[in-house]
Structure 1
């Protein structure tokens, strides 16, 4: 007769020593500590004849707490698992009060006989497992404490002590003993390293972010039943960050193509000066004071349809000049009109030279047809000061960098928006920490 291994039982039951309620537990060989959901007694039982009551929780789970009830089965990281315990913890503030409460589901994986904690804080979930190694903390006593692992830097995010508010289910360690521990969290999203210390030992855990929809799928929960997220989780990945390399590359290519197109356009039709002339304003004595006679420029020829840039410089000295201008096609009579107001004032005040305004002005006329042209000027200035002279220069196919810079800025709008989103994400993340740059 061959020996046959006794199969491990999937579950067992024991009676609560306080109220007699039957408690089903699933890690039959490993669990030693239990919390009764009926009377909230916390007791130890490890096969001895009588369980030992260690205390009773004054705080109790809310009635609506039922997202992952004790006994719920699922699949986590490809392994079948079961929810066997649930704890609400809170951070102990310096004044002795409890703050920042969160839930930790005790997840048992019977195939591997391993445990994990599934923690949720403000709708953000992490899976916590033993790191099975220790890490060296650099500058441990400062706000810049960090852990270097394989080229990654984990920055200090939080230091605290915690307390158990209430618990239900089974546990393979004394959860009340955690009150004597101090914790430090170091983050490099989507991963967190958790240092657990007391005067005798140091243990490390690794926590990984998990999306709510993945938790819902793992335990067959309706996505709509998952708690809403508030803010940004400590190790919640930034969705924008993954797109930054591709976005940077595409933006760089687009800007490069834009610059190339501008250079090719300039080289195809380089700027050509068609007219450069000095014109003297002469007062029209028959008209109102300040009115100048009509000035007519020499003729010039535009060989193809193009943009024209008309640059004007007036020899003004503490006066203004209103200058209507008409570009006239001598063959068709078609005209292009615009008006420029030019003024320039200067002087000395308290020993300091000052000036305001400008003697220069320019205008760009787009898509001017080929032909022979001249310019008509209708100057009007204030009476009294000497009549100014006007230097006019007409350039065909000017390098219109203004259009280039408009498109340049438009191409940068989306990357800038993504940068702002990323900065906002990190700001919200560190709002929950006393060690972030915004709290420095």
Structure 2
């Protein structure tokens, strides 16, 4: 209940159906009244209370529950100090399920010089969502009595863009209190509503008349409760999303923060690139062809080259005997082993990562397996990796096809400073020709991936806000027949 006392009205009128006394706070203006006892709408003249009024319409009592805000109560809505003098329940001709309530607001105290342009105000409530309605100062302009046919309009004075939300004709289901016009005549109106949260722009047009425009602003239930001194729990609970309800999930701050963080991260990356230069080496090798495996027992093959403790190939002295191995143990016979290749050295001045890319330039319709060992020349520690390259192409049914890849990449991270080289053990498919192998070693390459990973992780926050924002807007437009098309 309200904590604000309701002042007694200056006049009363008598219901012509049940003889109930109906209060009148605006005897100089009001001419239409709704009886709260028998739900009858009637015309009466407060100046001549003894004259019997004229019944306009009777409403079904069982369809309504009465106003949430008592008639006669006063409150301050922004700069407006007003009194609730009338209450209506409305629905649509095309949808009798949808139902909303409108409260007529009049100045609680006389205004010097007459009413301002905003009065009479209306306070509308639908499913717990409240709108304060007043005359619009900025609205679409049409010629004569033509209605506005657009689905979008931008105000030149405010820059707000309004989108078509709804079109309907109202039906009055109940009325209580006093009104300065015959509200049943509103059932002839054609109404259009355009939303731009927290605002709603609406036009009302009677047959052969010009459109009259109103602008509504969304109010939180707590604002209404505070304005009229009532308990917020006594007001209708909110259901769904209101047409003009502001979206609480503002994505702009999150994206601005993401942009600033991305800029700082980019500056950090640039600073590291300048102050910690990277090392790069590129070499091209020829992988000798490996003949097809000989028949069993065909003889002996040369054993794999000998390497020292640092992983470098050891070349036998002139005239020294070359060790032999049984054919069954020869890599060429079992794996297609060719020979070891040694890259140039690369110097890492600080702890970092090395990105190694193998590219078989003329690999076609066969494969080659690359086993490589990145060796620290000071400690002898090796970091072994294996990659397979294969590429096939052809023509089938007149159409070209290809599969596989001539390149493969691997990143070795967490390498301490030092001098490194790469021992490469290629194993080409037996019975193929020589293959050109391009080897690229790059320092610092892992920072790019780290940079991208951090960006992706940081983008999770604005993306989460965007998803919630989009979900809220989807919920809003579920109640409209004019939802904007999805991009």
The alignment's TM-score, normalised by the length of structure 1, stands at 0.84
Describe the shift of the 1:137–1:212 C-alpha distance in structure 2 as closer, same or farther (beyond 3 A). farther
Match of 2:424 in 1: 377
Show structure 1 runs of 5+ residues with no match: 1-7
Describe the shift of the 1:131–1:310 C-alpha distance in structure 2 as closer, same or farther (beyond 3 A). closer
Shift of 1:88: 0.5
SS in 2 for 1:374: strand
Q: Does 1:215 align with 2:220?
A: no
* Counterpart mapping for 1:18-417 below 5 A: 18-46=17-45, 47-48=47-48, 49-60=50-61, 65=66, 67-93=68-94, 98-111=96-109, 112=111, 114-131=119-136, 136-137=141-142, 140=147, 142-144=149-151, 146=153, 148-150=155-157, 151-198=159-206, 199-200=208-209, 202-241=211-250, 244=252, 246-274=253-281, 276-278=283-285, 280=287, 285=327, 286-287=330-331, 288-292=333-337, 295-298=340-343, 300-305=345-350, 306-314=352-360, 315-386=362-433, 388-398=435-445, 400-417=447-464
Shift of 1:33: 1.7
The more displaced of 131-140 and 221-230 is 131-140
Describe the shift of the 1:37–1:408 C-alpha distance in structure 2 as closer, same or farther (beyond 3 A). same
After superposition, the CA RMSD in angstroms is: 3.3
| Cα deviation code 1:324-365 (max 9, x no counterpart) | 322222332322122212211122333443322112112121
Describe the shift of the 1:371–1:77 C-alpha distance in structure 2 as closer, same or farther (beyond 3 A). closer
Describe the shift of the 1:270–1:37 C-alpha distance in structure 2 as closer, same or farther (beyond 3 A). same
Describe the shift of the 1:146–1:308 C-alpha distance in structure 2 as closer, same or farther (beyond 3 A). closer
Cα distance in 1 between the residues matched to 2:136 and 2:407: 72
| Cα deviation code 1:152-192 (max 9, x no counterpart) | 44444333221101112222221112122222333333223
Any conservation in 2 of the 1:294–1:376 contact (CA below 8 Å)?
Answer: no
Shift of 1:66: 5.0
Describe the shift of the 1:65–1:344 C-alpha distance in structure 2 as closer, same or farther (beyond 3 A). same
Shift of 1:87: 0.7
Cα distance in 2 between the residues matched to 1:383 and 1:80: 95
SS in 2 for 1:98: coil
Describe the shift of the 1:39–1:358 C-alpha distance in structure 2 as closer, same or farther (beyond 3 A). same
Describe the shift of the 1:381–1:168 C-alpha distance in structure 2 as closer, same or farther (beyond 3 A). same
Show structure 2 runs of 5+ residues with no match: 1-6, 291-303, 305-326
Cα distance in 1 between the residues matched to 2:201 and 2:148: 17
Any conservation in 1 of the 2:413–2:446 contact (CA below 8 Å)?
Answer: no
Cα distance in 1 between the residues matched to 2:390 and 2:42: 92
**How many residues of Structure 1 are paired with residues of Structure 2 in the alignment?**
428
Shift of 1:9: 7.3
SS in 2 for 1:338: strand
Cα distance in 2 between the residues matched to 1:63 and 1:438: 37
| Greater gyration radius | 2
